[in-house]
Amino acid sequence: MGVKNDGKKPDNEPFGNWKGLLYYAVLMLIITMLLNGLLFPAMRQRVIETGYNDFLSMIEAGKVRQVQRDQDQILFLAEDAAGNRQVYRTGNWEDPELTERLYSAGVTFGKVIPQKESAIMAFFTNWILPIGVMLLLGNLLSRTLMKRMGGNAMTFGKSNAKIYAENETGKTFADVAGQEEAKEALVEIVDFLHDPNKYADIGASLPKGALLVGPPGTGKTLLARAVAGEAHVPFFSISGSEFVEMFVGMGAAKVRDLFKQATEKAPCIVFIDEIDTIGKKRDSGGISGNDEREQTLNQLLTEMDGFDGKKGVVILAATNRPESLDQALLRPGRFDRRIPVELPDLKGREAILKVHARNVRMDDTVDFNAVARATSGASGAELANIINEGALRAVRMGRRVVCQEDLEESVETIIAGYQRKGAAVSEKEKRIVAYHETGHALVAACQSNSAPVHKITIIPRTSGALGYTMQVEEGERFLMSREEALNKIATLTGGRAAEEFMFHSVTTGASNDIEQATKLARAMVTRYGMSDQFGMVALETVTNQYLGQDTSLACSPETAKAIDDEVIRIVKEQHEKAIGILKENAAKLNELSAYLLEKETITGDEFMEILRR
């Protein structure tokens, strides 16, 4: 149990195993018997047998209230000595005076006790009904329990892991674009799964596991599914977080279960997503230690060592925090292959866009290269989203095909959020924003070694941006020179510089620019070795490569202070440079801002034309 076979048989049947059902049935039988023996007789009406003489004397005494003829007997209701009403039964003697007597005593004729139930009815109410009710209750109870604990209430110690087994994932390497190196590394695994014997004959054993590492949305899960699809083998997948359980030991049980099922179905792929959840470095002597997680990890390590790699079970795992993984997992014989799945480059982005455009009706003129160039740093998932947003926009616009404009707009939507055409921005603020954005663009354009301006807009976005300047590189860039980094900082300060220069006051609109400029200047000093004062010394180390590039300082407090001073100096210098550029081009700044204010959005070409004339 535990396998979800393409959703055919959901695994939340409470009595999935017959032993549990048997126990339950026996338990219920006992309970019903107890109920029948102790409780129900007390509830049923008791009938007291009595003689005809007593009956007559009770009539005399005026104790009888009601009388009923029951075949050749008489049932009657009367008060006993203690004054409680009881039902009595007596033989019916052929007494001609009885009716007269009863009548004069004021006794009513009618039903004394409700219709005596038939044997079948009695059986039903005493046995079937209680059992039915209890079955229902038990069913409900175990369902809720299972939902709470994620485990089968009937079978403690056994897991009920939601392991998704797909017999065919239906994905192939053709669905994964731009991850050529990763695919190359995985082809061998596909080949092995096709024909494990070929490898066994020669005595070669393939690595038992491969670890896919890379930022979120780069296609790690997709690649794993594609491997299974290419090899036409079942695909077991489970997320690391599903191992983390309420009860200690359940996670380990799930691991055992998973491997048991996988070996039965070999050759197959076992995919453990987000393995860092269980595979985190184990604490060395800390107090906090998470026993459950550690047990699960230990179980995983044991299982990986234990199973026969020649059978054809390949374990793939994915993570975006490889640095936090326990070293034991990466040891030879476990996940010793590490396959980087990086953010796509220009060519990769174009390929991914094309893969996702396959099923979308696209205008022939769509330039995927241009879109790819504008989306430097985007992941595969984001690119897929861009195509979809573009298609949605085409529908909104009432068009039948997706055109370039839709894609460009959806790029901006992904970067900056939706347009907020209705946002009430005052004329004065609009003017400030126009100068701010023109400032960025102008500083960028007046420096060599700076990416060309692609678009400037002052239409507010849902992200809160009141406008922005888009710069798009001609081709792919892998390195940034010191000059380019400095120019970038100058460009970032250009917005604020224009506000100062024009209005002699500053606004909060530059907060994001400031943050970016500071980050870059800081990285120049601490990581890129680009400041004369410190030279090639790593003062900060990146602790989280794929998620947000968190860094931690690795220097003395005095050095930290000196770093701050250097960062401030760099940003200040570039800010001054930007102001200088704007002063020199004051006329153009005014002209361009006025034009932008009027048009709200201008292209890089329009911008350059005005700048050059």
Residues in contact with ligand ADP by the rule CB under 6 A: 176-179, 216-222, 318, 352, 355, 380-381, 384
The residue whose Cβ lies closest to Zn ion is 495
Structure token digits, residue 407: 């894609």
Q: Residue 401 burial (CB < 10 Å; 0-12/13-18/19+)?
A: middle
Closest distance to Mg ion from the beta carbon of 178 (Å): 17
| Residue 221 vs 450, nearer CB to Mg ion | 221
| Residue 179 vs 491, nearer CB to Zn ion | 491
Q: How far apart are CA 236 and CA 112, in angstroms?
A: 69
DSSP category for residue 194: H
Q: Based on the residue annotation, tell me whether 405 is a catalytic residue of this protein.
A: no
Cβ–Cβ < 8 Å for 299, 252: yes
| Residue 384 vs 466, nearer CB to Zn ion | 466
In the region spanning residues 468 to 507, those forming contacts with Zn ion, defined by CB under 5 A, are: 495
Q: Is 439 in the site for Zn ion (CB under 5 A)?
A: no
C-alpha 455, offset from chain centre: 35
| Residue 352 vs 525, nearer CB to ligand ADP | 352
Closest distance to Zn ion from the beta carbon of 343 (Å): 25
Kind and range of the H or E run holding 608: helix 604-612
| Residue 389 vs 513, nearer CB to Zn ion | 513
Q: Is 513 in the site for Zn ion (CB under 5 A)?
A: yes
Give me the catalytic one of 437, 499, 500, 540: 437
Structure token digits, residue 583: 């002063």
Q: Which of 422, 511, 418, 415 is nearest to 469 (CA)?
A: 415
Calculate the alpha carbon distances from 200 to 206, 260, 315 in Å. Answer: 9, 21, 18
Q: Is 240 in the site for Zn ion (CB under 5 A)?
A: no
Q: Which of 256, 260, 300, 253 is nearest to 278 (CA)?
A: 300
Q: Is 179 in the site for Mg ion (CB under 5 A)?
A: no
Closest distance to Zn ion from the beta carbon of 192 (Å): 53
Q: How far apart are CA 24 and CA 384, in angstroms?
A: 51
Q: Is 279 in the site for Zn ion (CB under 5 A)?
A: no
Cβ–Cβ < 8 Å for 78, 63: yes
Closest distance to Zn ion from the beta carbon of 471 (Å): 12
| Candidate ranges 47-55, 213-221, 245-253, 523-531; the one touching Mg ion (CB under 5 A) | 213-221
375 binds, among Mg ion, ligand ADP, Zn ion, none (CB under 5 to 8 A by kind): none
Cβ–Cβ < 8 Å for 478, 444: no
216 binds, among Mg ion, Zn ion, ligand ADP, none (CB under 5 to 8 A by kind): ligand ADP
Q: How far apart are CA 465 and CA 483, in angstroms?
A: 28
495 binds, among ligand ADP, Mg ion, Zn ion, none (CB under 5 to 8 A by kind): Zn ion
138 binds, among Zn ion, Mg ion, ligand ADP, none (CB under 5 to 8 A by kind): none
| Candidate ranges 84-92, 215-223, 332-340, 405-413; the one touching Mg ion (CB under 5 A) | 215-223
Structure token digits, residue 566: 């250097």
Q: How far apart are CA 277 and CA 381, in angstroms?
A: 22
Closest distance to ligand ADP from the beta carbon of 335 (Å): 16
| Residue 340 vs 529, nearer CB to Mg ion | 340
Q: Which of 327, 347, 343 is nearest to 335 (CA)?
A: 327
Please give the residue ranges that form the binding site for Mg ion (CB under 5 A).
Answer: 221
- Residue numbers annotated as active site: 437
Footprint of Zn ion on this chain (CB under 5 A)? Answer: 495, 513
